[in-house]
Structure 1
């Protein structure tokens, strides 16, 4: 028996599949048939959802979900009516939907996700139903120019920590760290300046700056799981007792990342930090300074020009929905 349905596709007018809240999601469902085909209806469903799914150490399953879009429409047929016979050839059924404001950005994590997709189903009188679906990406833009102005200012942190055994002349390590600002966008680099004064009797094995992403998964307002990944880092060598090491605007790259906090989602929170880490050569614990930053989608305007953005920094054309390259990175505990 020849195959009646040759093609059954969901085609978006925006071929990049990237949308912003408030934009129109438009396109068509394309059907190509080889023979006359009776159809009871062509259903179209747009879904946006946030899901958290965690298995605890006791093998308990914790699950929570929230809906952002749940829009259904018929592109062909009416309830209670008989079948419509579709002739051989190509049939195109257009759709158009305004995306709500405030949608959270697409995100895929180990224990949860925010996803958007369209589903369509073609029903025949004989009970056969043809189905297909297509994912699209939503980015909820965060403009640093609309955030608190303090994010445009240098961000400083200082610590004094004693290393060595006190009875044999232990001394302090004094560390001062400055970031060039508190907010960034993917494609920029974080400018790090630091001074590490080793006044102890212990050699510092190395110093390191690392950009980290912390993802928290929530259910009923409580954190049920979290994960932290290192995204990029800079390393420097040892500092002997009595020596000083100066970092002068070292550049820490910001890779493609979803914005801070997944605004609009109440199940998944994302935060970014720069950690400055001092590793002693002895068995003493590392000394860490934590500097929280914001990752946004639109950078600070340069030279007071309201109409242009800083060259070379822009929101990514696609979001990193799947990020397998993170799996090989060490985790900062």
Structure 2
């Protein structure tokens, strides 16, 4: 800018100058998000940045600087009070060979509740009753994230494994019982509000392989959806008052949980990896899986938490993708006025570079933390 400029402006003399400014972000912004392939490449990203540019009146010299910011939508689990209820799913499969019944296999999957925030623990129980004359070859229990990606008419779902436990054989007439406690790492909330091409969901899945006729395998599959938010249910952490909310990200490849502070963002000049609310609590030890040995099925199951795996095991459990039909599931996230107060302590870790959505239904504004 100089004296001869016809456009409104002023002369900037030598020295250091600071120009404070503020502006209101649009109300309908999706949260910052990144999805990585198994090779470490970014397959999907939602990112935001602020760019400042200065130039002279003749446009012969210019200088610009860009800083990343993070957008975080609040998902208050208290809006859906049914998420605190215990759920149980029961399913059975009938085995037969040449129209001759071989009995049934019954499986029950139970969760203490279906709404969690990162830092909580999920209590999973699986009961397996083998009243058939066939052997249950294996039982796999997994907790996974599913990311739905849309591009025109083409849709794809990519799955990332967070936790798995494998059970041993269950002989005819025997039963199996598997019980584990899963620590929820820093994860993005369910759904992706205001984004039509990305959706996120979580589910606990049980897959049972039974020996069928003519050496074929019959499958029994159960799955329960789980909602991940960032404002906990009011009855959460009731036994642990020393809850310290912060911001962190979870590495699916290594199982590491990395905390972030304001200094990490202030020194960043390029894209910043999205971070999510994480309620730091003392992790509960994994409970050993039980197995009824009345049928000679052997010992218990094997639990795999990514943070405790060897590099070789992690590679086996990396993300995988497959095509799905055009109609993908959708989970709608909710906002609430209580979210701003519940996450205030965590927001201080990010400082002025984090942006949060207040209750849009109440005041229609988005404010910077």
TM range (shorter): 0.5 to 0.7
- TM-superposition CA deviations, 1:193-218 (whole Å, max 9, x none): 22101122332232222111111123
1:137 maps to 2:70: yes
| Change in CA separation of 1:99 and 1:82 when aligned onto 2, cut-off 3 Å | closer
| Change in CA separation of 1:126 and 1:98 when aligned onto 2, cut-off 3 Å | closer
From 79, 85, 89, give the equivalent of 1:157: 89
1:86 CA displacement: 2.8
Query: What SS class does the counterpart of residue 191 from structure 2 fall into?
Result: helix
Q: Of Structure 1 and Structure 2, which has the larger fraction of its residues in strand?
A: 1
If the length of structure 1 is used for normalisation, what is the TM-score? Answer: 0.65
Distance 2:71 2:18 in 1: 25
From 284, 292, 306, give the equivalent of 2:225: 292
| Change in CA separation of 1:154 and 1:332 when aligned onto 2, cut-off 3 Å | farther
* 8 Å CA contact retained: 2:137, 2:168: yes
Q: Of Structure 1 and Structure 2, which has the larger fraction of its residues in helix?
A: 2
| Residue equivalent to 2:19 | 93
The structure having more radius of gyration, on CA atoms, is 1
* 8 Å CA contact retained: 1:233, 1:252: no
| Residue equivalent to 1:301 | 234
From 42, 45, 69, give the equivalent of 1:113: 45
Structure 2 unaligned spans of 5+: 36-41, 256-313, 323-369
From 188, 201, 205, give the equivalent of 1:271: 201
Spell out structure 1 runs of 4+ moving beyond 6 A.
Answer: none
1:97 CA displacement: 3.0
Distance 2:160 2:140 in 1: 15
Number of residues paired by the alignment? 251
1:185 maps to 2:117: yes
- TM-superposition CA deviations, 1:57-105 (whole Å, max 9, x none): xxxxxxxxxxxxxxxxxxxx987147724313x3222222344445322
If the length of structure 2 is used for normalisation, what is the TM-score? Answer: 0.59
Distance 2:321 2:125 in 1: 21
Distance 1:177 1:82 in 2: 68
* 8 Å CA contact retained: 2:201, 2:227: yes
